[in-house]
Amino acid sequence: MSALAMFRALRNRASPVFSSPYLSSHVASIPKFISTLILAEHEDGAIKPSSLSAVAAAGALSEGNSISILLAGAGPSLEEAASHAASIHPLISQVLVANTDKLRYPLAEPWAELVHLVQQKGGYSHIIAASSSFGKNILPRAAALLDKSPITDVTDISGPQLFVRPIYAGNALCTVRYTGGDPCMLTIRSTSFPVPSVSDDSKSNAATISQVDLSTFNEDAVGKSRYVKLTSQDTERPDLGNARIVVTGGRALKSAENFKLIEKLAEKLGAAVGATRAAVDSGFVPNELQVGQTGKIVAPDLYMAFGVSGAIQHLAGIRDSKVIVAVNKDADAPIFQVADYGLVADLFEVLPELLEKLPEKK
């Protein structure tokens, strides 16, 4: 099967490419009690949507899973985030708050130490974080402290110990059975676990909020890495990882100046801006906009690609997009083999025309 045919099969949610009868015959060994700790990220007094996807993933482990959210930091926004977490979904039974200046920033060393401490007290069967920079930074280190082998980038959960994850740059799916004992530690792709909806009923069933006892917290763990600063684009555009519409530009844009055509279109559509690695490497846009195997994974309702060839490493990041639209002047560009709508045309003609015809965003 060619890489593109594989992409199409995976996009259509084919059953895992690698799954063995050996696996299914061992599914029976389910732990008696499932309890999950979610390592959650918060911002401006609210839980980030990627961490809510981790709650959705925990819900898929088993019915009756007891889910605790672990939050850390300092200051009033932490307390607000704790209240938000407690009321966001009925699946959450407990919110654990580690309130200390040592955890103000999401550094791997103190966070891993915290996870170790909380696991020793709570004895969770599973620990989950989203596959964001936060989760990818913290969970492997925490797993090393707990002497466990983490399973990363999970896209589907078939049982408490049976997980599906992509391999070979997303060209195949692999089913993995975990046999390492508690806790089973996972990072999940948030695009594969839609954010659970918030009902008003759940607000009246708020989860309990407890402070983590930090008297035995190893403060010596703090110090190997140092938080310098957070730099983020000052923009009102939606977050690339959660946007409903993504407009992406490739190398064909030729310059940062020309790339503004993509940004203007995104503005009119209320979309996030994405870029190929070639566009990032050429300096048109910052690295954080890269979509693909080594960039962000996106799953919008509409993905628009302008001057993007459709390299397999780029396609690895857009597999879960519902509708893909491509504009490329080469009719043989691989992107057309995965696009739902394709236009063989020069983007420097198409983009100005689109911008002229679309109304201004109110």
Ligand X SMILES: Cc1cc2nc3c(=O)[nH]c(=O)nc-3n(C[C@H](O)[C@H](O)[C@H](O)COP(=O)(O)OP(=O)(O)OC[C@H]3O[C@@H](n4cnc5c(N)ncnc54)[C@H](O)[C@@H]3O)c2cc1C
Annotated binding site for FAD: 251, 276-277, 290-294, 307-314, 328
Candidates 65-73, 98-106, 172-180, 325-333; binding stretch for ligand X (CB under 6 A): 325-333
Q: Which is nearer to ligand X, 34 or 252 (CB)?
A: 252
Q: Is the distance from CB of 38 to CB of 70 less than 8 angstroms?
A: yes
Which residue blocks in the chain are alpha helix, DSSP H?
A: 3-11, 21-24, 49-59, 76-88, 108-122, 133-145, 200-204, 256-269, 277-281, 312-315, 347-357
Nearer to ligand X, 307 or 342 (CB): 307
The answer to whether 347 contacts ligand X (rule: CB under 6 A) is yes
Q: Is 179 exposed, middle or buried (0-12, 13-18, 19+ CB in 10 A)?
A: exposed
Near ligand X by CB under 6 A, which window of 59-67, 140-148, 193-201, 305-313?
Answer: 305-313
Phi, psi of 82 (to 5 degrees): -65, -45
123 vs 283 by CB, closer to ligand X:
283
Stretch that binds ligand X, among 181-189, 213-221, 237-245, 247-255 (CB under 6 A): 247-255
Counts for the chain of helices (H) and strands (E), in that order:
11, 17
# residues contacting ligand X (CB under 6 A): 28
Residue 330 is a binding residue for ligand X (CB under 6 A): yes
- The yes or no reply on residue 268 touching ligand X (CB under 6 A) is no
The answer to the question of residue 293 lying near ligand X (CB under 6 A) is yes
Decide: is 251 part of the binding site for ligand X (CB under 6 A): yes
* Sign of the dihedral through C-alpha 234, 244, 317, 343: negative
Burial class of 313 by CB neighbour count within 10 A (0 to 12, 13 to 18, 19+)? middle
- Which has the closest alpha carbon to 41: 11, 69, 10? 69
Among 59, 166, 183, 250, indicate the residue that binds ligand X (CB under 6 A): 250
- Candidates 158, 258, 313, 337; binder of ligand X (CB under 6 A) is 313
- Out of 279, 298, 302, 338, the only residue in the binding site for ligand X (CB under 6 A) is 279
Instruction: Rule CB under 6 A: say whether 266 interacts with ligand X.
Output: no
Shortest CB 140 distance to ligand X, Å: 20
Question: Prior bond to 196 cis, omega within 30?
Answer: no
In terms of CB distance, is 19 or 258 closer to ligand X?
Answer: 258
Q: Do the beta carbons of residue 291 and residue 317 sit within 8 Å?
A: yes
- 261 makes contact with ligand X (CB under 6 A): no
Nearest distance, CB of residue 255 and ligand X, angstroms: 12
Distance of alpha carbon 149 from the chain centroid? 20
**Rounded Cα distance, 168 and 149, in Å:** 19
Q: Residues comprising the binding site?
A: 251, 276-277, 290-294, 307-314, 328
Among 277, 303, 321, 342, binds ligand X (CB under 6 A): 277
C-alpha 210/C-alpha 9 separation (Å) is: 45
Q: Which is nearer to ligand X, 251 or 260 (CB)?
A: 251
Amino acid letter at 73? G
Residue nearest ligand X by beta-carbon distance: 292
- In the numeric block, the tokens 């899973």 are attached to 65
Binding footprint of ligand X on the chain (CB under 6 A): 250-252, 276-279, 290-295, 307-309, 311, 313-314, 317, 327-330, 333, 346-348
